[in-house]
A = this chain, B = another copy of it.
Amino acid sequence: MATSSSQEQDVQGEVLKKGKPREQKEDAEKLLESKKQADDGQSGGQFVLKCAKGTRDYDPFQMAIREGVFSVIISCFKRHGAVSISTPVFELKETLLGKYGEDQKLIYDLADQGGELLSLRYDLTVPFARYVAMNKIKTIKRYHIDRVYRRDQPRMTLGRYREFYQCVNHRNVLDGMFEACGVPPEKFRSICSSVDKLDKTEWEEVKKEMVEGKGLEEAVADKIGEYVKLSGHFELLEKLMSDMGLTAVASARAGLEDMKLLLHYCELFGVLDKVSFDLSLARGLDYYTGVIYEAILTGDATMKDGEVPAVGSVAGGGRYDGLVGMFDPKGQHVPCVGVSIGIERVFSILESRAKEAGGKGIRTVETQVMVASGQKNLLEQRMKVCTLLWNAGIKTEMLYKRNPKLLNQFQYSEREGVPLLVIVGEEETVKGGVKIRDTHTREEDFVEMAALVPELNKRLAECQHSERV
């Protein structure tokens, strides 16, 4: 399974322009209806101009944003000493069976082409558990950044996000709460998934679903309602720890002790104010066995009439102590805890903001110097100067035109944020040098060839410094 990289150059190129993606669904439909063209007599060759439903390309602008997000996230993981691993995009179908509950129908299967039955991974957690079991690993702190595949409705609602909060709960506390309220054990999961809707739905509606839709006694639902409105820190813990109904359940009591330790650790790490213990947090709970947490964005209060404030989860996770054991015939217990960050939403928000700001601050190339000329027949000189600069490790470009116009080269530099130009000219060549032009100030200075690289490096170091300031 090769990993490929390709670099495309148009040797007869014009000024490079930044490509902008356009939705061409309507065009594609028309194309498919209008014209078929065979390719060397083989099937196919229709004018298919779209991505698979629910998927998208990323253009250079979006990639620049994505790279920035990954950089922040990976730095954080590395700062905390995590290693990285990688697993294949598809697993044996059997590996994924029985792990996702109802969501199993959302798994993409590969066609049976005579070999093993395969499915695209649905998350990175189950492959991780397989990896841990397969390699008999006892301890590992790993991060893994990769795509996962789910056959559901693409949910790309953006809205404006203003508020961001993080909350924490514990599966055993939730179950204990249900027990204390009088929920019949066989309804725990069902009632749990109703509670899970509280981040998007008002309590009255959730209560209605529990009572009318799931046959829960109204009095029981009301008791749940009293609990799920609670959130806080140590004062909430104290309150719950003196709640007889709750602490009568041993596992709930243990869960509360876990929560107490967690909040204490958050305090030591200086982040207590960044989380809250919130009894309305439920999550999918497929494989969670202990603490659970979620980071949520809520919409701007200043909504237009009729608009529902957008809500989106950006991260979530918890403890899942039983998963690795499912892969190990000896049932070896390997406790796990983790978090998953849904960066598509973060990308989208940053992309919107960047566009609103006119794309400022986002560069799609990191080019530092453009080698230019306005006079004819200086292509070879430009190429030699590029070579000199590349060999010095300077990020350098030139236009792929034999005799480009100087103005086009200036405009390219301004548009792409290239800070400096080196201008090759007949007069300067005779004098044994070139001109350096500052894209921003537009000032030009002659410099001898021997001093070119040191002078460029000096100016580039100053650029970087002022960018940081």
Interface residues in chain A, defined as those with a beta carbon under 8 Å from any beta carbon in chain B:
1-22, 24, 31, 34-35, 37-40, 42-60, 63, 66-67, 73, 77-92, 94-99, 108-113, 115-116, 118, 120, 123-125, 128, 130-151, 154, 265, 268-270, 317, 326-329, 334-344, 364-367, 380, 383-384, 386-387, 390-391, 393-397, 400
Contact = CB atoms under 8 A, between A and B. Distances in A.
A52 B95 CA distance: 10
A88 B1 contact: no
Among A48, A108, A124, A338, chain B packs the most CB atoms within 10 A around the CB of: A48
A125 B2 CA distance: 13
Contact of A53 (B44, B56, B115, B397): B115
B39 A149 contact: no
Contacts of A59: 85, 135
A8 B141 contact: yes
Given A9-B141, A329-B35, A57 B85 contact: yes
A380 to B, nearest CB: 6
A429 to B, nearest CB: 15
A137 B59 CA distance: 11
5 contacts: A1-B344, A8-B128, A19-B137, A83-B364, A265-B383
Contacts of A47: 327-329
A94 B46 contact: yes
A50 B8 contact: no
A88 B57 contact: yes
B3 A45 contact: no
Contacts of A366: 78
A139 B14 contact: yes
A400 to B, nearest CB: 8
Given A2-B148, A44-B96, A80-B395, 16 more contacts: A1-B56, A5-B143, A6-B142, A7-B80, A8-B140, A8-B336, A11-B337, A37-B326, A39-B326, A52-B91, A57-B131, A57-B134, A60-B83, A79-B394, A89-B120, A111-B111
A79 B131 contact: no
Given A1-B344, A116-B53, A150-B1, A6 B124 contact: yes
B1 A147 contact: yes
Contacts of A57: 85-88, 131, 134
A335 B14 CA distance: 12
Given A8-B338, A98-B42, A115-B151, A83 B365 contact: yes
Among A44, A56, A143, chain B packs the most CB atoms within 10 A around the CB of: A44
5 smallest CB-CB distances across A and B, nearest first, come from A44-B97, A44-B98, A60-B83, A81-B397, A55-B88
